Amino acid sequence: MDKRLQAGVQSLENGLDLMLIVAHNRRPMKITDVAEQAGISPSKAHRYLVSFMRAGFVTQDEETGLYGMGPVALEFSLSCLATIEPISLATREAEQLCMATGHTVAVAVWGSFGPTVVRWEQPARPIMVNIGLGSVFPLHRSATGRVFAAFMAPDVIRAWLKRAENSRQDDSTHETVEQVRQRGLARAQGDFMDGMSAFAAPVFDDRGRLVLTITVLGYKAGFDHRWSSPIAARLKAAAENVSRALGHKHERLVQGLG
């Protein structure tokens, strides 16, 4: 191998190792913990972190002083996800669905913290909510989360629920999950966000595994939340289109009436 290809910038590699420590920890970290795991002094770790903060890869909480991943790091991860075929296919359907319904459309995948938004398509008159790229939906109080609860591998859901912060769930969880499985569609009406309604549908791969969800959401006052509504029908069709493109052999689920 050409030795020139083996050459690199050692300080950059060291800095990236440090940033990966922050990323893999999943929670904001003290600088002393970052330094200890990196095997360097806190002062040296601080210099690296300052540079990453300036570039937007790392953020520091003003109150706690803890370090976490920044907005530019999120952009990088989302750009990588966009190259994955299911997300690319779902994005195209989401754009068309947004135009057809006039409502916001979200594409979500299962992340370390649960159902995570990786695409967020807004209509000409966008909704004003504190949700967007990188946001995590609750498992049982959102249409998106209910689809994951219904179709995600049970062992994945059980492992997620074992975490202390995820242990609380509704008494109606099992009933809701069964309804979602029967309909192939989930609905929420102000459960997670006051004044908002949403439908969510699953997308499956060629082995029948849930790979992502597509969600349509909007203000309750202008959102047709009937199970038989054009919004619900278009959403299911869009999700089925992506599943079909991924090689899923679709078997129509029992359609709920409402």
Please report the pLDDT score of residue 48 as a whole number: 94
Contact assessment for residue 187 and residue 230, using Cβ atoms and an 8 Å cutoff = no
What are the pLDDT digits (tens) for 116-128? 999 999 998 878 7
52-74: average pLDDT: 91
The residue with greater pLDDT, 224 or 206, is 224
Q: Which letter, b or e, does each residue of 151-160 get, where b requires 16 or more Cβ atoms within 10 Å of its Cβ?
A: bbeeeebeeb
Q: Say which range, 125-129, 153-157, 205-209, has the weakest mean pLDDT.
A: 125-129
Residue 37 three-state SS: helix
Contact assessment for residue 146 and residue 199, using Cβ atoms and an 8 Å cutoff = no
Q: Which letter, b or e, does each residue of 15-29 get, where b requires 16 or more Cβ atoms within 10 Å of its Cβ?
A: beebbebbeeeeebb
Question: What stretch(es) of the chain map to CATH 3.30.450.40?
Answer: 84-245
Residue with tokens 């979500």: 108
Q: Say which range, 27-31, 145-149, 166-170, has the weakest mean pLDDT.
A: 166-170
CA nearest neighbour of 177 among 211, 148, 215:
148
pLDDT exceeds 60 at position 174: no
What are the pLDDT digits (tens) for 25-54? 878 999 999 999 999 999 999 999 999 999
What are the pLDDT digits (tens) for 82-104? 666 899 899 999 999 999 999 99
Q: Say which range, 109-113, 148-152, 199-203, has the weakest mean pLDDT.
A: 109-113
Query: Which CATH architecture fits 10-74?
Result: Orthogonal Bundle (1.10)
What value does the mean pLDDT of the chain take?
A: 86
Q: Does the domain made of 84-245 have the CATH classification 1.10.3210.10?
A: no
Share of the chain above pLDDT 90, in %: 57
Residue 26 three-state SS: coil
Q: What angle do CA 109, 253, 220 make, to 5 degrees?
A: 60
pLDDT band at 168 (very low <50, low <70, confident <90, very high): low
Tokens of 116: 């995570």
CA dihedral 24, 25, 30, 36 (to 10 degrees): -70
pLDDT band at 165 (very low <50, low <70, confident <90, very high): low
Q: How many residues make up the chain in this entry?
A: 258
Question: What stretch(es) of the chain map to CATH 1.10.10.10?
Answer: 10-74
Query: Which amino acid appears at position 63 of this protein?
Result: E
The β-bridge relationship of strands 104-111 and 114-121 is antiparallel
pLDDT band at 253 (very low <50, low <70, confident <90, very high): very low
